[in-house]
Amino acid sequence: MHNPFVSTDWLAAHLHDPHLVVLDASWHLPGAERNAHAEYLAGHIPGAVFFDIDAISDETTDLPHMLPAPSQFARQVGELGIADTDVIVIYDELGLFSAPRAWWSFTTMGAERVFILAGGGPKWRAEGRPLETGQVEREPRHFEVHVDDDAVAEFAEVQRASRTRDAQIVDARPAPRFNAEIPEPRPHLRGGHIPGSTNIPVGLLTEKGQMRSVEDLRTLFAERKVHLDRPIITTCGSGVTASTLALALQLAGAEEVAVYDGSWAEWGGRKDTDIEP
């Protein structure tokens, strides 16, 4: 894949390009006691639009921030002033946490020039670069959707992979959650993991808010016995860090990677699923 990251130097030099759109896609886990939108209003990269992962989501399900229908996605991002032909640069205020989820959403919906700001908001701020406050409004644009269905794994596909092992299931949650040693942040969910899945906590993929090198990622996946030449389904708590894991796998050379959008919010919330502790 092409390099999905741009540097703060690059963004600073291109910040006023007419076809560039910057998105703050910050999102925080339940219980983090942080309000991403309020923090955006208090200070963000100049011109950045707030991409609300919870609001731009499937309106027909109670599962958190599921990928919306193509028509809904096109309408909502078009209202934000984003076209599928724009250069889209996404960041978050944890460095590299929720930005890959927005990156995955846009690439799945067919945008071809989508990038992540390396180091995100923390690096931009640490370098003393300019910020602005308040809500940014852009003129509405047309976003033409071309859905990559192969990028999304549905429940039935994950259930089959768990049973037949025709695809590897890799879980990005922290090990204590994967092993049911601590409760899930969503209290109604059972603890444990999908039978046959492998745990690679998302924290192992990054260092100081940036993705580790391709060499480090390949070594990590080899150590965890994840085979890059076989189909892979990534999962996590609700599809956010599963997107970071999918990005890391693709950087390392995996070609068949799908995100289980429902993730543990769906699997752990159902009564008809098998669970391993």
Dihedrals phi, psi of 258, to nearest 5 degrees: -125, 145
- Nearest CA to 264 out of 184, 196, 179 is that of 184
Is residue 258 within 8 A of residue 193, CB to CB? The reply is no
d(CA 256, CA 251): 12
The residues, ordered by sequence, that sit 6+ positions from 66 with a Cβ below 8 Å of its Cβ are 57, 58, 239, 261, 262
Is residue 58 within 8 A of residue 66, CB to CB? The reply is yes
Dihedrals phi, psi of 178, to nearest 5 degrees: -55, -40
**236 flagged as catalytic:** yes
Helix (H) or strand (E) holding 257: strand 257-260
d(CA 212, CA 228): 17
- Which one is catalytic: 56, 236, 240, 246? 236
CA distance to 10, 12, 19, 20, 141, per residue, from 16 (Å) = 11, 9, 9, 7, 17
Is residue 131 within 8 A of residue 46, CB to CB? The reply is yes
Active site residues: 236
